[in-house]
Chain A
């Protein structure tokens, strides 16, 4: 299994509080992703990173920010949590992407976040 760890695994927080989720990898993969998974929706991309300090927005980025100061860590921050951000969050990593050199996606075990 790819070395990818998410923390915390479960979090309950109140509306309006800041929350940070951490993704840590030991694979030295270039690409890291944050997804959210909700019933009736496929995995939806929040933000992704293609290198240290290189990040970009996904389709559901509003209300979220990310940082990647080291290859191995990718942080997802909810500056002021809302109930609509109650979800399961998955981090994923991949070594490469592109027409000539796609590589598999490896997922963390997920973080279940509840905003009350």
Chain B
């Protein structure tokens, strides 16, 4: 069993739609990261959070520590948002665990 589970695995949306990607984890954590991997392969850090909510442009990340759950929201989605989104957690032993990613395709 993976320590980090993401859903859905694949997601197709029309341009402009509101998108939610979910991440559930089973270990105690000190932080949760959301990463974006573009088709070219590069991985970029989007957010790091340990409580509450963060917003950057059209992206919003929330975390509920009690429920061991985080969501990544994209408002007014655009084709350039097409990428794989990866959730990762840092456990209390400072180890990283990664989800297998959610592949998002936004159609014009």
Most chain A CB neighbours (cut-off 10 Å) among B33, B41, B50, B101: B41
A99 to B86, CA, bound (A): 21
Complex partner residue of A45 from B31, B50, B92, B96, CB under 8 angstroms: B96
Size bracket, chain B contacts: 20 to 34
Q: List 13 A-B contacts (CB under 8 A).
A: A33-B96, A42-B4, A42-B86, A42-B97, A42-B99, A42-B101, A43-B88, A97-B90, A99-B30, A102-B30, A102-B31, A110-B41, A112-B41
| Residue numbers in A under 8 Å from B33 (CB-CB) | 104-105
Q: Is B94 an interface residue (CB 8 A)?
A: yes
| Residue numbers in A under 8 Å from B50 (CB-CB) | 102
Check B43 against A90 for contact (C-beta < 8 Å). yes
A112 to B42, CA, bound (A): 12
Interface residues of A, CB < 8 Å — how many? 22
Chain A residues with CB under 8 Å of chain B are 33, 40-45, 88, 90, 92, 97-99, 102-107, 109-110, 112
Q: Is B35 an interface residue (CB 8 A)?
A: yes
Check A42 against B2 for contact (C-beta < 8 Å). yes
Smallest CB–CB gap between A72 and chain B, Å?
A: 20
Check B88 against A98 for contact (C-beta < 8 Å). no
Complex partner residue of B98 from A42, A103, A112, CB under 8 angstroms: A42
Check B45 against A105 for contact (C-beta < 8 Å). yes
Chain B residues with CB under 8 Å of chain A are 2, 4, 30-31, 33, 35, 41-45, 48, 50, 86, 88, 90, 92, 94-101
Check B94 against A42 for contact (C-beta < 8 Å). no
| Residue numbers in A under 8 Å from B30 (CB-CB) | 98-99, 102
Closest A residue to B47 by beta carbon equals A104
Contacts A98-B30, A102-B31; A43 near B86 (Cβ below 8 A): yes
A93 to B69, CA, bound (A): 25
A42 to B48, CA, bound (A): 18
Check A43 against B41 for contact (C-beta < 8 Å). no
| Residue numbers in B under 8 Å from A99 (CB-CB) | 30, 92
Complex partner residue of A42 from B31, B41, B100, CB under 8 angstroms: B100
